[in-house]
Structure 1
């Protein structure tokens, strides 16, 4: 527990100090938060630093294709009821960013850490987590991310025999297969709107049967486990069958699912569902996501969506037609440079909305919208798009670097 003898060797202390100095210099130069470069420098000086920083913390790791940053934030809020929390709240989720975040939390009891899917097994080895939350797996960054079943296999092998309590979404067959190698799993029925990455059985390759909300493989018998926590409308049912209301300022079904998983994690650490869910109400926006900002006399709601599953969930929470929608897509390094995923998104859900298209890859998106029979206009800038929008709150949906560009433009 925190407060024990200082775990840091002189070398580790030097690494932390150097990392903080480099991060501060990076911030001063206007190059972002500096957490990644600071963490890289610190790990170069002490390759074991992440393990040292984690050893006095009760660590929870959160991994998924979508919802990691928000769920990390919800769990961190809930666990503050039981003690001080350190977290990589800004989403720097590879080892350097995680190291940088933990270096700032020397007095904390809990570490709540978002982890990029590809790094989960390694970070779990280093941090000896008490709990790991696995939410979903779907296609993302097709030019460099492993195919989803390979990612699930990486998780399955990396977590085999883990001492951590695994809190896993029983509605995603890939997550279930990955978590099933662990001896201690708590299943949460959090739902799965996007099913296109889980039509074949991850265990044997057979065709998955999906009657209603259930799923099973007709060939090898791999099937949906029975959940002990269930998202049911606006409530989460705990293992005793009690229903607890979910009151969030964050919109949409996906965030209720994130809250249900977060409540299950909080319970692992002794925080009751009522307390955990009440604390989650404090979260209004997460690194700019869901913020409503004023720009050129209009209300813009900023929504981040990075892949087909994320766009599908986001379309479900926008204001009804004729609310104007601005879509912005880039394909820079952090986004993945392959935009073929745009063809997996069902844009007919935007029928009736005036659509305005921006970003480095606006023409890729324009072709896709044309094929989907949508009415849209291609714009050169956010300013131009906003000026062309009809009245009403404007929904702005962007992928990762396009979202950062928009936040800078609106001063968020």
Structure 2
């Protein structure tokens, strides 16, 4: 744990108070949670505030393209077994949102912080984390995110020589390359369904060989490290070879993988796997994801999928055909305005499902589904799609701002 128990400086206290006031005003005006604007104001008044707020916390950072928010929530639940936790549970994951979250708690022992991939190195410098969890890297927000290997390089340079324990996914070559610059890494075999961003070696550019679940570069010898933790079916295998059952209310293989990584993080802080995994059962939904809501006399399950890797995982957990599926895609600032990633998603996996398409970019999605030979109907809005859907629970899959629109419409 960094720093000492000195209270915040007068300047820092003023910054925290001003940030909270601005956040409250933003909430009162109906402009969202206010966490980002509040954090921005606080950091303007005291640029070192994030470091000051983190100095008395045992900090864990969580970064990835997919699964950050859920894994942050699972780790936070597990660590509550050992003491009070502060976390940016709503997913505001850039420095302003993180500062806001930490300013909201003065008695926490642990800070569990989701960090946007592009900001990881800087936030790690400011917060002196005890642990950093790296889950995966894949293409996302093509108009503004760096190419995945450049992001991996950014992580590799930013974390080189870090004192933190790095808990990293041994099955993602980009993550392994990024984490390998750190002296203290715990490898987790968490799996990787999406492989299309790691066919060339991040170290030398050679072609990656992928026999079974293994991977290696035939040219430079860069290879999958031996994991000490592993996801095995419905169990987590710990470094002693013991198998611990995973009981989650969250669906799908991806969330079991998130639980495996979270158990490895919890162990860094002395929370045993059995306790950690039992506490993760409390999590039913994460910021609306996986919630089943009643709308127009129908059950709708809300699923978030922001990029090709996320859509692939989501397709694997929806109910089988002929369950109706509503797809909604926007391309606003928070989504990335480039929708060419739709062509990287294998929509043939939806064959047999009645499909209904809504959202700002419904026509982009319609063209993609047409090429994938899927049967679908373009609808004006969610209400029309629900009216047209055949009986049964409806799976609703949306990208980021489309998901927020849906939550507002169904009152979630």
TM (norm. structure 2) is 0.99
Q: Secondary structure at the match of 1:231?
A: strand
User: Conserved in 2, the CA contact under 8 Å of 1:61 and 1:113?
Assistant: yes
User: Conserved in 1, the CA contact under 8 Å of 2:132 and 2:164?
Assistant: yes
Offset at residue 3 of structure 1 (A): 12
Offset at residue 5 of structure 1 (A): 3.0
Partners of 1:190 and 1:242 lie apart in 2 by 16
Q: Secondary structure at the match of 1:70?
A: helix
Q: CA deviation digits over 1:33-90, x for unaligned, max 9?
A: 0000000000000000000000000000000000000000000000000000000000
Q: CA deviation digits over 1:82-107, x for unaligned, max 9?
A: 00000000000000000000001110
User: Conserved in 1, the CA contact under 8 Å of 2:5 and 2:56?
Assistant: no
Structure 2 match to 1:138: 138
Partners of 1:386 and 1:37 lie apart in 2 by 36
Offset at residue 323 of structure 1 (A): 0.2
Offset at residue 185 of structure 1 (A): 0.0
Partners of 1:176 and 1:297 lie apart in 2 by 47
- What are the ranges of 5 or more consecutive residues in structure 1 without an aligned counterpart? none
Offset at residue 7 of structure 1 (A): 3.5
Partners of 1:53 and 1:22 lie apart in 2 by 18
Q: CA deviation digits over 1:145-170, x for unaligned, max 9?
A: 00000000000000000000000000
Structure 1 match to 2:216: 216
User: Conserved in 2, the CA contact under 8 Å of 1:62 and 1:134?
Assistant: yes
- What are the ranges of 5 or more consecutive residues in structure 2 without an aligned counterpart? none
User: Conserved in 2, the CA contact under 8 Å of 1:59 and 1:127?
Assistant: yes
Q: CA deviation digits over 1:256-281, x for unaligned, max 9?
A: 00000000000000000000000000
User: Conserved in 2, the CA contact under 8 Å of 1:249 and 1:283?
Assistant: yes
Q: Secondary structure at the match of 2:236?
A: strand
Offset at residue 402 of structure 1 (A): 0.1
Offset at residue 211 of structure 1 (A): 0.2
Partners of 1:309 and 1:154 lie apart in 2 by 21
Say what the alpha-carbon RMSD is for the aligned residues: 0.9
Partners of 1:312 and 1:347 lie apart in 2 by 9
Structure 1 match to 2:204: 204
Partners of 2:49 and 2:128 lie apart in 1 by 13
> Residue 81 and residue 3 in structure 1: after superposition, are their counterparts in 2 closer, same or farther (change >3 A)?
farther
Q: Secondary structure at the match of 1:288?
A: coil
> Residue 98 and residue 243 in structure 1: after superposition, are their counterparts in 2 closer, same or farther (change >3 A)?
same
Offset at residue 4 of structure 1 (A): 5.8
Partners of 2:23 and 2:244 lie apart in 1 by 42
Structure 2 match to 1:36: 36
Moved more, 1-10 or 160-169: 1-10
Partners of 2:20 and 2:184 lie apart in 1 by 37
User: Conserved in 2, the CA contact under 8 Å of 1:7 and 1:52?
Assistant: no
Partners of 1:411 and 1:90 lie apart in 2 by 17
User: Conserved in 2, the CA contact under 8 Å of 1:7 and 1:53?
Assistant: no
Partners of 1:347 and 1:3 lie apart in 2 by 51
User: Conserved in 2, the CA contact under 8 Å of 1:230 and 1:236?
Assistant: yes
User: Conserved in 2, the CA contact under 8 Å of 1:2 and 1:109?
Assistant: no
Partners of 2:2 and 2:23 lie apart in 1 by 25
Offset at residue 2 of structure 1 (A): 10
User: Conserved in 2, the CA contact under 8 Å of 1:3 and 1:107?
Assistant: no
Offset at residue 6 of structure 1 (A): 3.4
Q: CA deviation digits over 1:336-363, x for unaligned, max 9?
A: 0000000000000000000000000000
